[in-house]
Amino acid sequence: MHPSSVLTQQPDALHTWVFTPVVTTLMVVATVLYVYGVVRARRAGTAWPLTRVVAWFVAMALLVFAVNSVMAELAKHLFWAHMLVHLVLITVIPMFLVLAEPIRLLATATGETGNRRVRAFLGNRVVRLVTSPVVGLPLYAFALISTHLTGFQDLALENPWLKQLEYAGYFVIGWIFMLPLIGNELCGPTKLSHPLRFASFLLAMGPDTLVGVTLMMTTSELAPGYSASRAGWGPTGLEDQAAAGAIMWFGGDGLMMILLLVVAFQWITAEATGKRGGGMGTWLDSARRGTLMGDGDSDVDVDDDDDEAALAAYNARLREMNRGR
């Protein structure tokens, strides 16, 4: 650790501000585009819910908290602060971002042509694979384990660009993981059934627990760079590491438990009202129908919860195939 990077006193929460020009610019541009999309959607006659707009601004506020507030400075010197920022970036912000439904807004605000293009993009086989738990869940587990139970943290403290890359990776991986599991942005064959959503969140608790318990129980510092970066303040290295483990274990599993309860409630409600989506076969059947109906560029708008609409779309696809022959 370079002597100039050692902090001799704890940062002041009211006067410490970390300026990130690239992230701030991206946030402002994205927010302007989102608000413009909402205006266009409402002018076109689509009532865009206020809850989605609120979700977007909550996500942006949490992003400021994670990368611009005093927490961003503390995360350079305290393992527990880094872990708190980590959870916000990989779980909480992506959750609100998915609830804001920017992809659906893009499809709505760009008219019929834009809607067809967005559906075609979402129907692409590669996109369907990337936005599925088959990819999202292993990425989530890899991000947690590789950046906390190896020497990565010390390396990131010595190389600020690597720390920025780490945070960006948390954000992207969290969004990929959350995208198919909450909200309704992904339709057609990428829409998961409630059992698969429930199982995905349940499995995600595994890496949270592994990392948290390991950090709490290990008797040597896995990231000594944190204690070396501060002089005369803060907890000892092992105390700091144990606190980081507790945040990961209880905080990470707690967030997943809340999402599990939400999915369980939706599952029970769907079963009680007789809607499809409660069984494992629903997602597999939707994937089969999605393959038969093409990659989303059909003019037929498919709702997986509507058997008659799905049958009509299937028959239309067959007619198109026969005409092609």
d(CA 135, CA 127): 11
Amino acid in position 82: H
Nearest to 262 by CA among 212, 192, 201: 201
Range of the domain at 307: 13-292+302-316
Nearest of 190, 237, 232, 241 to residue 213 by alpha carbon? 241
Residue 6 in domain: no
Residues 194, 196, 198, CA angle at the centre, nearest 5°?
Answer: 70
Has residue 325 been placed in a domain? no
What does the alpha-carbon distance between residue 153 and residue 223 come to, in Å, rounded to a whole number? 6
**Within-domain flag for 4:** no
Instruction: Decide if 323 is inside a domain.
Output: no
pLDDT in tens, the chain (325 residues): 544 467 777 776 656 788 889 999 999 999 999 999 999 999 888 889 999 999 999 999 999 999 999 999 999 999 999 999 999 999 999 999 999 999 999 998 988 888 889 888 888 889 888 988 999 999 999 999 999 999 899 999 999 899 999 999 999 999 999 998 887 776 544 567 888 899 999 999 999 999 999 999 999 999 999 999 887 788 999 999 999 999 999 999 999 999 999 888 888 887 777 655 444 444 444 444 444 444 444 433 444 444 555 556 666 666 666 666 5
Tell me the torsion sign for CA atoms 289, 294, 295, 300: negative
- The pLDDT tens digits of the residues spanning 116-158 come to 898 888 888 898 889 889 999 999 999 999 999 998 999 999 9
**CA 18 – CA 7 distance, rounded (Å):** 15
Cβ atoms 187, 108 nearer than 8 A: no
Contacts of 35 (CB under 8 A, 6+ apart): 53
Compute CA distances 209 → 144, 250, 299, whole Å: 10, 8, 46
* Residue 324 lies inside a defined structural domain of this protein: no
Q: List CB contacts of 78: < 8 A, sequence separation 6 or more.
A: 226, 230, 234, 235, 240
Amino acid at 306: D
- The answer to whether the beta carbons of residues 94 and 177 sit under 8 Å apart is yes
DSSP 184-197: SSS-GGGPPPHHHH
Q: How many folded domains does the chain comprise?
A: 1
